[in-house]
Chain A
Amino acid sequence: MDSPAVEIIDLVKRYGRTTALDGLTLSAARGAVTAILGPNGAGKTSTVEICEGFRRADGGTVNVLGLDPSRPELRARVGVMLQAGGVPPAMRCGEWLRLMSRFHTSPLDPAALLERLGMTEHARTPYRRLSGGQQQRVSLAGAVVGRPELVFLDEPTAGLDPQARHACWELVGDLRAAGVSVVLTTHHMDEAEKLSDHVVIIDHGRVVAEGTPASLTGAERQLRFRARPGLALDELLTALPAGSAAKESPSGHYIIEGQVGPELLATVTAWCAAEGVTADDLSIERRTLEDVFLELTGRELR
């Protein structure tokens, strides 16, 4: 149990002239939930599919449970949920899950698993007749039915309605509680923030930041307000305690960071009053992962 669940060092993957992964390094601890977060095309799926043994790396080292991803013995120890498909469309989902369970020595009871995911009434429904969210749940069930040590979930909640998302989150929580290592990709900030012990933000095939959700968002809070564009923030900064920061982003939206407390609030409102400026929608908020992400990558997630 000494090696991490997943260890990736300087991973490179090219498709023709496109470099999908450009020296990516990350580690996923055993028994923890690791979220790989990034916009479309950042390299999330390439990373996971190399770990799953579907693709070969063009450079770097990848170890899954301490082994090369191509090792056949990993197939029984690792559960996989593809981003889409994987189940014969005409097959009843209960039948497919039973088939997957027969590949393992001590699988979960497929019927109990379907019940856990609220899918019992659809056990005899062909996969293609299920809604997108129901298909995702069947696929998720297939990833865990063999009682793996490690599961890879590639965008497990894409296209799910809120209730199904919640069911998926609960299952991920149960996996973690049972000591299963989970690596998931997502572009939902709230999902990464809520579920994971460790978040790795990637963009252009490289890690741009990683840490716990709390360490990434920081303990600091922000003061936000709206006012007319073009305020002289330099002047405001001279009135604020050292170490404070002020910025206008986007135009007319102001963010003040630093020791956000009553004192800072009073200083800002007094300064606004002196400038003859009305500050609207004034609020104190914690930074979200989304803010961190936008700062790091300069682009929207979706």
Chain B
Amino acid sequence: MTTTTGPAGAGRPDLTPAPGAAPLSRMVSAQAGAEIRAMLRNGEQLLLTMIIPVLLLVGFSAAPLVNVGGGPRVDFMTPGVLALAVMSTAFTGQAIATGFERRYGVLKRLGASPLSRSGLLLAKTLAVVAVEAVQVAIISGVALALGWRPGGSPLAALALILLGTAAFSGLGLLMAGTLRAEATLAGANLVYLLMLGCGGVIFPLEAFPDSAEPVLALLPISALAGGLRAVLADGGGVPFTALAILAGWAAGSLLLASRTFRWE
């Protein structure tokens, strides 16, 4: 025997119209929470954002595989790995996730909800920053256990991380909003590997030919890793050059992304 109605006693929801948009803060926090849960639940994303950075930190701090000049290896490695972590979340993870959201009509559907596009971008940014905070806590914890002694101004480091986040988010959204989801997946991983290899994360830029070095120094990952290293390892002042490079990437990529982003 089958029934076509719900179980006995199931209340019928009152469908009488009572429309209204929730306050922006509630919509943004709900959306940001959903984005954070999605990021922390996604296995591949965790591999990229948490596991690989920590493995690189532990492995290269322990083993003398790379000539990092004087000083404890962990002092050289930690700023680079922090930069890598920021890139993995703000660029790689965000590009791939947003690319597939576009492909699956999620962005389109959200466009029909009361959450505005700027609200959605704010929620995405909050989620990225929240996951970065978890990454920084874990990486710093592991580094401190390995004997890391950070110096310099925490505020300068924070400014670098925030501008780096803006630059990498802009690049990630530029990819996600223009390429097919599969192309974004492949491209974002490729860029991650290239930046990991050539951006002063593990291998100092000095290890590259003299002609390549000034070009590589302009990459956002080099600016972020180098800037963090100048502050945290060398106790330098405000790294204006690094901040300027990151600001340039952020402005250019966000502008281009906002002009070219396709929501469907």
- Enumerate chain A interface residues (CB-CB to B < 8 A): 52-54, 72-73, 75-78, 80, 82, 84-91, 95, 99-100, 102-106, 108-109, 112-113, 115-116, 118, 142, 144, 146-149, 163, 166-167, 170, 174-175, 177-180
Contact = CB atoms under 8 A, between A and B. Distances in A.
A149 B16 CA distance: 8
Nearest to B116: A72
Contacts of A73: 21
B65 interface: no
Given A75-B112, A142-B109, A106 B20 contact: yes
Contact of A102 (B16, B20, B26, B108): B26
A75 B108 contact: no
Given A85-B106, A86-B106, A104-B114, A113 B13 contact: yes
Most A-side CB within 10 Å, residue of B12, B13, B18, B106: B13
Interface in B39-62: 41-42
B27 interface: yes
A211 B12 CA distance: 31
A116 B4 contact: no
A103 B15 contact: no
Contact of B17 (A91, A118, A166, A178): A178
B2 interface: yes
B15 A175 contact: yes
Nearest to A106: B18
26 contacts: A53-B112, A72-B116, A73-B21, A76-B21, A82-B112, A84-B105, A85-B109, A86-B109, A88-B104, A88-B106, A91-B34, A102-B22, A103-B22, A104-B22, A106-B20, A108-B14, A112-B11, A112-B13, A115-B6, A115-B10, A116-B13, A142-B109, A149-B19, A167-B4, A174-B15, A178-B17
B41 A82 contact: no
A72 B37 CA distance: 28
Contacts of B2: 163
A102 B27 contact: yes
Contacts of A108: 13-15
A233 to B, nearest CB: 45
A99 B13 CA distance: 18
Given A76-B21, A144-B15, A103 B115 contact: yes
A109 B104 contact: no
Contact of B15 (A53, A100, A178): A178
B147 interface: no
Contacts of B20: 76, 104-106
Output the residue of B7, B12, B27, B101 with the most chain A CB within 10 A: B12
A75 B108 CA distance: 12
A77 B41 CA distance: 33
A179 B109 contact: no
B111 interface: yes
Interface string B220-246: 000000000000000000000000000
A149 B26 CA distance: 22
Contacts of B15: 108, 144, 147, 174-175, 177-178, 180
A13 to B, nearest CB: 15
Interface in B107-147: 108-109, 111-116
Given A88-B38, A146-B19, A170-B5, 5 more contacts: A85-B109, A108-B13, A112-B11, A116-B6, A180-B17
- Most B CB contacts (10 A, CB to CB) among A52, A85, A148, A175 go to A85
Given A86-B109, A99-B34, A76 B114 contact: yes
A9 B24 CA distance: 34
A148 B19 contact: yes
B30 interface: yes
A115 B9 CA distance: 11
A281 to B, nearest CB: 33
A230 B174 CA distance: 67
Closest 9 CB pairs of A and B: A85-B105, A86-B109, A105-B20, A102-B30, A178-B15, A76-B21, A80-B112, A147-B18, A77-B19
B78 interface: no
Nearest to A145: B13
B264 interface: yes
B226 to A, nearest CB: 36
Interface in B73-115: 100-101, 104-106, 108-109, 111-115
Contacts of A148: 17, 19
A142 B110 CA distance: 11
B22 A174 contact: no
Contacts of A147: 15-19
Contacts of B165: none
B22 A87 contact: no
Contacts of B4: 163, 166-167, 170
B253 interface: no
